Amino acid sequence: MDSIIVRGNGPLNGQIPIAGAKNACLTLMPATLLSEEPLTLTNAPRLSDIKTMSQLLGSLGAEVTSLQDGKVLAMSSHDINNHVADYDIVRKMRASNLVLGPMLARLGHAVVSLPGGCAIGARPMDLHIFGLEKLGAEIELKDGYLHAKAPNGLKGAVMELSFASVGATENILMAATLAKGTTVIKNAAREPEIVDLADCLRAMGAQIEGDGTSEITVQGVDRLHGATHPVVTDRIELGTFMLAPAFCGGEVELLGGRLNLVESFVAKLHEAGIDVEETEKGLKVARKNGRVKAVDVTTEPFPGFPTDLQAQFMAMMCTAEGTSVLEEKIFENRFMHAPELIRMGANIEVHGGTATVHGVERLKGAQVMATDLRASVSLILAGLAAEGETIVSRVYHLDRGYEKIEEKLGGVGAHIERVKDQ
């Protein structure tokens, strides 16, 4: 297992290119199952989760070819010869459940293992099942697998989700493109990744309106055709690297960054005393003089503050001036990074879904352990601004969501290296 060693060494300056969105790409890839014709994705991120999804699609009979050093994915599902998404692959990644809707819509049946991924909460499949059953699917859970079939095909329906689940919205949206009649998804998720999926499906011939709002309408079509689609910028990688100069000082330009992807996050940065401005190439971030100010945060579905940036923001609040309160409303078990930050000298109190952070002058380097994807990068950011050396172990989580992080941070002056554990 690898570890990351970081040493606090002052301000960061320069440019960091932002990759295509992991969460968008993992949603777009299963869309290939909806058509016999090729689907090509450009601006794809080069991450281990993308390889896992490629492996899963390949196990179903799809062809996935990585081109241009992994930045282009050429996919074809003309010969789907297996309808079982096996546990050995699905357990590695939560997004694997997104093959369920497309396979059910095109093949009329699917068997998909209950998914795995980071241990940050239950994230059940209830809403996925609810929506697909509204479309006429029959779904049974047996031995850890969802056995789904639509003997009479899928039919449009009106439904309201009890929670604006991103994954459920995506699965239902893809299935509805080939359902007979009109589907209306109320209380739909509004994330940019949903809009990106809808844009791709429209390029394939789907009829979709209302994406980006809480009500999406889909008019089913008989078939979808091939398309080429660029993956939207990764707003979580963008927000993460925006915090690097906020932690360390300096000025960093995030290439490809877009303000409309991170508006609620940027509002909190402004409150904390961080300058953010748009440029021709992206977004430029700089820290004003002195310590950042303590800011309260509550995670919410988009367009609210992203849960996937909570750990990183908490790490910054550890050295803020004053006391901040962070409330996690999306996932349970998402404060597992707090004990590791405390090892570095942070003053954090956790009670259920609320963390109170009393800012200290400076953190000190320590040996810490990554517990999930976003926690791992929060510890790296904290280490960059800490006194001395920080060793972050179990960083295999990191490669699921951040492309070439050592190269990107090293390019703006960070002292960071990856080492093989003995």
CB distance 240 to 402 below 8 Å: yes
Domain ranges of the chain: 2-18+233-420, 22-230
84 backbone dihedrals φ, ψ, rounded to 5°: -115, 120
Burial of residue 339 (number of CB atoms within 10 Å: 0-12, 13-18, 19+) = middle
- Is 25 noted as a catalytic residue in this protein? no
- The architecture in CATH of the region 2-18+233-420 reads Alpha-beta prism (3.65)
Q: 3-state DSSP: the chain helix, strand, coil percent, rounded to 5?
A: 35, 30, 35
**Termini Cα distance of the chain:** 8
Q: Check for a shared fold between 2-18+233-420 and 22-230.
A: yes
Joined tokens for residue 410 = 């090293």
127 belongs to an annotated ligand binding site: yes
Q: What angle do CA 121, 52, 313 make, to 5 degrees?
A: 45
124 belongs to an annotated ligand binding site: yes
pLDDT for 120 equals 34
Strand 158-160 relative to strand 182-186: parallel, antiparallel, unpaired?
parallel
How far is residue 160's CA from residue 188's CA, in Å, rounded to a whole number? 8
92 belongs to an annotated ligand binding site: no
94 belongs to an annotated ligand binding site: yes
Among 291, 221, 281, 293, residue whose Cα is nearest residue 253: 281
196 Cβ partners below 8 Å, 6+ apart?
21, 24, 27, 28, 231, 232
In the sheet where 72-76 sits, what is the strand order?
A: 63-67, 72-76, 39-42, 227-230
C-alpha distances in angstroms, 41 versus 26, 157, 232, 311, 400?
A: 11, 30, 10, 30, 19
Number of other residues whose CB lies within 10 A of the CB of residue 146: 23
Burial 32-68 (b: 16+ CB within 10 A, else e): bbbbbbbbbbebbbebbbbbbbbebbebbebebeeee
For the chain, 422 residues long, give each residue's pLDDT as a single digit of tens.
789 999 998 899 999 999 999 999 999 999 999 999 999 999 999 998 899 999 999 999 999 999 999 999 999 999 999 999 998 888 888 788 999 999 999 999 999 998 754 443 444 689 999 999 999 999 998 888 999 999 889 999 999 999 999 999 999 999 999 999 999 999 999 999 999 999 999 999 999 999 999 999 999 999 999 999 999 999 999 999 999 999 999 999 999 999 999 999 999 999 999 999 999 999 999 997 789 999 999 999 999 999 999 999 999 999 999 999 999 998 776 798 999 999 999 999 999 999 999 999 999 999 999 888 888 999 999 999 999 999 999 888 888 889 899 999 999 999 999 998 75
Is the preceding omega at residue 30 within 30 degrees of 0, hence cis? no
Helices marked H in 224-372:
235-248, 263-272, 310-317, 338-343
289 belongs to an annotated ligand binding site: no
Q: For 304, what's the count of Cα atoms within 13 Å in the CB-facing half-sphere?
A: 13
* 213 DSSP β-pair partners: 211
CB distance 242 to 284 below 8 Å: no
pTM exceeding the 0.85 threshold for the entire prediction: yes
Number of other residues whose CB lies within 10 A of the CB of residue 292: 23
Of the residues 118, 200, 248, 318, which is catalytic? Answer: 118
- The architecture in CATH of the region 22-230 reads Alpha-beta prism (3.65)
71 belongs to an annotated ligand binding site: no
How far is residue 311's CA from residue 191's CA, in Å, rounded to a whole number? 19
pLDDT for 116 equals 54
